[in-house]
Structure 1
């Protein structure tokens, strides 16, 4: 009998319903540790990892523990374990940290094996005080072109900085030289960035829909009130979010702050966009059968559909690509952002 891709997937799916993938048959360890690039057990990395780990553990019939050890320790743990008992969940910070030269960030594409993508957090955003004279990104670029210094609070070296780099790049493309007037205020956590705004040390801050939406709902007279000016996610990503959005900010509201309604140009013709994308990383010498088992299990999990509902309930956008497709996609993404960073660094 000849199997098409669809009938083969259906056959595998039926087998999965009958019983989880047996750990012995797949050469899998009974206990697996999923280290994450964050030390927080309340943040989006832990939350997303927990959803995926629970589904994978059930499907594979093994135990998977999420361990919030942070980026540096996570990479070390992954590099030490060739047996496949340690895998890692992280996001674009893994390669952005390397591109920005942050200590402890090796090239994940060279030193590890990039695995499947699982979800996007579409919430990366930039905000201004509610009483700011800047009503839009157009106002910000116009101010920089007119010689006004625009201070942007970021946490340097990754997801927080890439949007700032894109702002400088867009200013350079629009009016060469004006990028010098968009300056970084280097801070730490989200609370530090918020405080920089409230202390009038920053005109714009990097934030997120999840962390900052509450402040956009305050009365404009409140000293902590904020407004969104830019959400970096692709419109195709935001369109998959619940129509109600989050808090008092609907999906339609979010789309108005994203491309193409809000334009931060990449090269004068195309807009810069950035999705914060979560994916697995493996030790490059790990048994390929284990990776195949994880890819197969995730294919089944996402074909069943329950995980997507859990992710959307937590304001994640489901984004599964198996390892090979994910590597190709993320390599292109890395190369695009590398060019933007190199252009700003070189002043070209």
Structure 2
């Protein structure tokens, strides 16, 4: 009898050891190193920073090394198209679909060619700025100037997040001063430093920028050639309200709220004002194993439930924004369609 009991205990112990291993193996959809290609070639920009924060958290949660690789949008899309085993995934932001809406070469329909994954962060800093001595102090000043026949030059990087606010301003001119929208003229440039330089040189009246990159210039005295003034932040009021009270640099959250609706507005039509949150999300190859997508969704849910990631993101002026894949797909499609209406109206 003792021998039978001993054997039974050994068998139970063996089962207790094997069962967790089998369970782990069943859920171990992600193995080895995971390359995270991003739609930016800069290791100093917000895409790299937001991606690195989430990649580190996933590495710790899943016990797999997620490595961010800043290859740029075209290379990232082409790489993702080739690799379907989950060893390479992509992170980008709204430019992934805006580029297609604007007809930018290299941008396909992400909702048809890829699997859209979860969202995880918002950069609330998308901004438009003017020289501190500019006659334009609000977006409405710009709209009225263009409506009165003045040419207003806006420096943007065409085909994405940089351009969408310009399109909103142009649409507002079209709504309030039909036929005058051509007075708002794009000055197509590249990097943020290029856009800044157009303002320093007097080539642009307004530039697209970010709170992170341009806040320092807003603190300069008005007689400084590089002194800037925030004209407008495109983020929703509720998004900025979630930032830490200290805001960014020496500009507090309360100060930043002065540049979003309802304090400043850009009419969109139908008694609605234009807002735009720059959101980061995952993209997968269309043939990716659903278990891999589920594993990342589950890991992110656990990470955001734990609560530490939110503190890390906010410290870097990102707003936590986790939506699992199924929810994110519907949300981002609706968002795309909303802004497509503006772009299409301007092309009519």
TM-score range, shorter chain: over 0.9
1:46-65 alignment runs, 5 A limit? 46-65=48-67
Once residues 321 and 25 of structure 1 are traced to their aligned partners in structure 2, the CA distance between those partners, rounded to angstroms, is: 21
Asked whether the 8 Å contact 1:159–1:276 carries over to 2, the reply is: yes
Residue 72 of structure 1 corresponds to: 74
State the Cα deviation string for residues 52-109 of structure 1 (Å, max 9, x = none): 0111111111111111111001011111111111110100010011111111111111
> Is the CA contact 1:22–1:61 (under 8 Å) kept in the aligned structure 2?
no
Alpha-carbon distance, 1:26 to partner: 2.4
Give the total of aligned pairs: 328
Q: Please give the alpha-carbon distance, in whole angstroms, between the structure 1 residues aligned to 2:303 and 2:227.
A: 41
Bigger Rg, structure 1 or 2: 2
In 1, Cα distance between the equivalents of 2:335 and 2:68? 27
SS for the counterpart of 1:171 is helix
Q: Counterpart of 1:147? A: 149
Report the alpha carbon displacement of residue 182 of structure 1 after superposing the two structures with TM: 0.7
Q: CA deviation at 1:268?
A: 4.5
Matches within 5 A, 1:89-238: 89-238=91-240
2: CA distance between counterparts of 1:44 and 1:312? 13
Q: Deviations over 1:297-322 (max 9, x none)?
A: 00000000011100000000000000
2:341 corresponds to which residue?
Answer: 339
Aligned to 1:305: 307
TM-score by length of 2: 0.92
What is the alpha-carbon distance in structure 1 between the residues aligned to residue 207 and residue 224 of structure 2? 17
Which residue in 2 is equivalent to 1:11?
none
SS at match of 1:104: coil
State the SS of the aligned residue for 1:114: strand
Aligned to 1:266, the other structure's residue is in SS state strand
Deviations 1:257-282 (A, max 9, x none): 11121110111400111101000001
Distance 2:270 2:190 in 1: 32
Q: Which piece of structure 1 moves more, 24-33 or 105-114?
A: 24-33
Per the alignment, residue 5 of structure 2 pairs with none
CA drift of 1:29 comes to 2.2
Q: Report if aligned partners of 1:91, 1:279 keep a CA contact under 8 Å in 2.
A: yes
64-73 vs 21-30, which moves further? 21-30
Q: Which runs of 5+ in 2 are unaligned?
A: 1-19
Cα distance in 2 between the residues matched to 1:127 and 1:69: 29
Across the aligned residues of Structure 1 and Structure 2, the Cα RMSD in angstroms comes to 1.4
2:3 — aligned with what? none
- Residue 7 of structure 2 is matched in structure 1 by none
Listed as ranges, the gaps of 5+ residues in structure 1 are 1-17
Structure 1: distance between partners of 2:192 and 2:120: 24
8 Å CA contact 1:23, 1:61 repeated in 2: no
* Deviation (angstroms), 1:25: 3.2
CA apart distance, 1:145? 1.3
What is the match of residue 271 of structure 1?
A: 273
Q: Deviations over 1:236-258 (max 9, x none)?
A: 10000111111221111111111
**Shift of the alpha carbon at 1:137?**
1.3
SS of alignment partner, residue 263 of structure 2: coil
CA–CA separation in structure 1 for the residues paired with 2:293 and 2:140: 46
Whether contact under 8 Å (1:118, 1:278) holds in the other structure is yes
| Counterparts of 2:69 and 2:248, CA distance in 1 | 28
Are the equivalent residues in 2 in contact too, given 1:23–1:62 (CA < 8 A)? Answer: no
